[in-house]
Amino acid sequence: MNARTTLRLTVGALALCCAAGAQASDYLVTTDWLEENLGAEDLRIVEVSVNPGVFERGHIPGAVNFAWHADLVDPVKRDIASREDFEALLQQSGIDDDTTVVLYGDTNNWFAAWGAWVFDVYGVDVKLLDGGRKLWEAEGRPLSTQPLQPAAGTIALAEPDEALRARLPDVLAAAEGDGTVLVDIRSNDEFTGKILAPDGVKELAVRAGHVPGAVNVPWGQAVAEDGTFKPAEELKALYAAAGVDGSQPIITYCRIGERSSHTWFALTKILGYEVANYDGSWTEYGNSVGVPIENPSGTVWTGQ
């Protein structure tokens, strides 16, 4: 196969190039595989990072840049990008209906996973670079500062799949015991109400704590030291220990929906569970009037 001119991404090929467990998923590619396929005509690489300027300082050759706070969201209301705007973005990036799209980003693929969730909402299967930017750079793989100007693509998007997205009423129903499992993936200090949010973040809620009945499995427990996902059997055991075994529908949430997308990806794409991501997350729930909150730390107002 000439990886520079054509891309053959079959299940069998992935199984050969990837390790056992999570790395054999149809939704993950290795750094080896991606470097071997740089330049393939039917491959588009998309970086979705949180830290400004990272892409411009050097990115995977051939990648385009999606700004999560501008390209993937509605410019006026708190919402993901509309079908029309997202379709235009993908076409502008040279993506066709049969293009293989690989996403990656910094901070262990937090926002790349959120991007993958947005793609999935609109019916487009994408893959994550396992280990993301962290592993790519640690291994000394090539970076480029050259901007990409692809020919326009022709992809057409479906209407959004609302089953992949949890809303506040869905979370309240789960808190009241409708059989849906709530997975809070924030740190234990956030979950217990000791703090409102990690240091340095701007998006806050006026109340601390968690949704009643939620279990706490911090997102970082799903990854190895190098930023790759742990093998599927380890992930299955990790979540089963918290009572999450895929036998019931699942809702993941965090603070603004990006870390919970990382767990959504692990549970949905690697383990095959039925999962909706609550992108309103704690900045919506913790600011909502009249909703029940559990707060083991005993804080009442703005974490005090």
Residues identified as active-site:
254
Closest C-alpha to 132, from 106, 99, 94: 106
Side-by-side strand order, sheet with 181-184: 215-216, 181-184, 250-253, 275-277
CA dist., res. 32 & res. 28, Å (int): 12
Closest C-alpha to 168, from 158, 157, 176, 156: 176
Q: Classify residue 152 by its DSSP letter.
A: P
CA dist., res. 295 & res. 304, Å (int): 12
Closest C-alpha to 115, from 129, 104, 130: 104
Q: Are strands 43-47 and 28-29 parallel, antiparallel or unpaired?
A: unpaired
Tokens 């849906």: give the residue. Answer: 180
Judging by beta carbons within 10 Å of its beta carbon (0-12, 13-18, 19+), is residue 235 exposed, middle or buried? buried
Segments of 200-283 assigned E as strands: 215-216, 250-253, 275-277
> Residue 132 is encoded by which pair of tokens?
């993301």
